[in-house]
Amino acid sequence: MSSITISKSIKNVWDGGEDVLPMNASYGKLMMWFFLLSDAFTFAGLLITYGFFRMKYPSFEGALESYAFSPDVWPLASKVFTHFPLLHGVEIPLGFVALMTLILISSSLTTVMAVEAGKKMNKGSVEKWMIATIVGGIIFLSCMGWEWSVFIEGINGVKATMSGNPYGPTIFANLFFIITGFHGLHVFSGIVLNIIVFYNVSIGTYERRGHYEMVEKVGLYWHFVDLVWVFVLTFLYLI
Amino acid sequence: MNHSSSEHSTTNWNVVFLILALIAVVFGLALFIPGGALKTVLIVSVSAVWAFFLLNDLMHLKFESKTLKLSLSLPIIFLFWLLGVLFLSAIFYSFH
């Protein structure tokens, strides 16, 4: 009799029933956390590769006034990313990327508000904050598109492509496209997921289910996109 | 369903302002500190603190169980170790 009880309890644990919560988290939330961990490994692979090449090439040394782009020296981000929309001829080093960072951080905060509203079962408020998050994501992605177009335009008619660029070593532009592109893909899929969850919120799916945990899960993904941006920003633009 | 974190749902605005301050600090370091190993270490360190608050407070990891925290943080610590090793390797095998 006792052996039956033991095997039943083991079955319950590994089947993941309604009453069993490994690590005290629901199945979906736990899987989201581990998916994000695996995604962190993918991004780390890309960023560590970037860091490797960044350190392998010499950095510019000397007065900033004498700075000139060279294929043998890793370019200074503060000299590459100086453009700002509607301000032609005005150089604002890293100004636009700072604005992009604030937009993404703001959309992370609206996600926090949506999750909180969900915990209070306030459907209208969840909808409002999710729309704000989606709009923030779309603005960020549009900014990235603008930045790519300026980056590709290059300097003095020399365009930046995967086979060469006017800023520095070829691998610099290659890694810029791959890393920011992969991050942009995450932002895009985050927007799509947010739209799907927003639709479900609107038709009352989670209201009927009795909880808004799905908003929390998609929120985790959105915060992760923001988290990755911290490191993309650090490696590609700041060091 | 687990709603263990529902009782901790109030946004900690101090953390939000701290994150904004950290963003200002990293941009300040990037623009006004001359290049070098110290600048790199400082910027990566401040960014790591920024990421910690994002993960701990905005993603509510601090309300999760200790086992889950360890399951996520130990592999991340390994990543930072790998980052350090490859940075040093890159300097050692430099082209120039």
Q: Which residues of B touch A30 (CB under 8 A)?
A: 68
Which chain B residues are Cβ-neighbours of A18 within 8 angstroms? 1
Among candidates B3, B26, B59 on the partner chain, residue whose Cβ is nearest the Cβ of A220: B59
The stretch A206-230 carries a mean pLDDT of 95
Q: What is the pLDDT of residue A13?
A: 52
- Is residue A21 in a domain? no
pLDDT tens digits for range A109-119: 999 999 999 99
Residue B9 has a pLDDT of 52
CATH number of the CATH domain containing A231: 1.20.120.80
Which of A38-42, A91-95, B3-7, B70-74 has the least mean pLDDT?
A: B3-7
Amino acid A33: pLDDT: 94
Name the residue ranges covered by the structural domains of chain B.
12-63, 65-96
The answer to whether position A52 is within a domain reads yes
pLDDT at A1 over 70: no
Across chain A, mean pLDDT equals 90
Which residue of A133, A234, A235 is the best one to mutate when testing the B interface, meaning the one whose CB has the most B CBs within 10 A? A234
What is the number of other CB atoms lying within 10 angstroms of the CB of residue A166?
17
Q: What is the pLDDT of residue B80?
A: 81
Q: Considering only CA atoms, which of A235, A83, A68 is closest in space to residue A152?
A: A83
For residue A234, tell me if it sits in a domain.
yes
What domain range includes position A123?
26-238
pLDDT-derived band at A5 (thresholds 50, 70, 90) equals very low
User: What residues of A are in contact with residue B91 (Cβ under 8 Å)?
Assistant: 55-56
CA-nearest residue of chain B to A30? Answer: B68
Contact by Cβ (8 Å): A134, A188: no
Contact B59 A113 (CB under 8 A): no
At A83 the pLDDT is 92
Question: At a CB cut-off of 8 Å and minimum separation 6, what does A23 contact?
Answer: A30, B64, B65, B67, B68, B71
In chain A, how many domains are there?
1
Instruction: Give the dihedral sign, CA A205/A25/A110/A183.
Output: negative
Q: Is A87 inside any structural domain?
A: yes
CA separation, residue A101 to residues A42, A75, A205, B78 (Å): 21, 21, 33, 27
CA closest to A58 among chain B residues: B96
B15 touches chain A (CB under 8 A): no
Please say whether the beta carbons of B53 and A225 come within 8 A. Answer: no
**d(C-alpha A5, C-alpha B44), whole Å:** 53
| pLDDT tens digit sequence for B49-62 | 999 999 999 999 99
Residue A7 maps to a domain? no
Confidence at residue B84, expressed as pLDDT on a 0 to 100 scale: 81
Say whether pLDDT at B43 is over 90: yes
Summarize the confidence of residues A149-178 as an average pLDDT. 94
Q: pLDDT per residue over A54-88, tens digit each? A: 888 888 887 777 888 989 899 999 999 999 998 88
Model confidence at A20, pLDDT cuts 50, 70, 90, reads: low
pLDDT more than 90, % of chain A = 74
- What is the model's pLDDT at position B6? 45
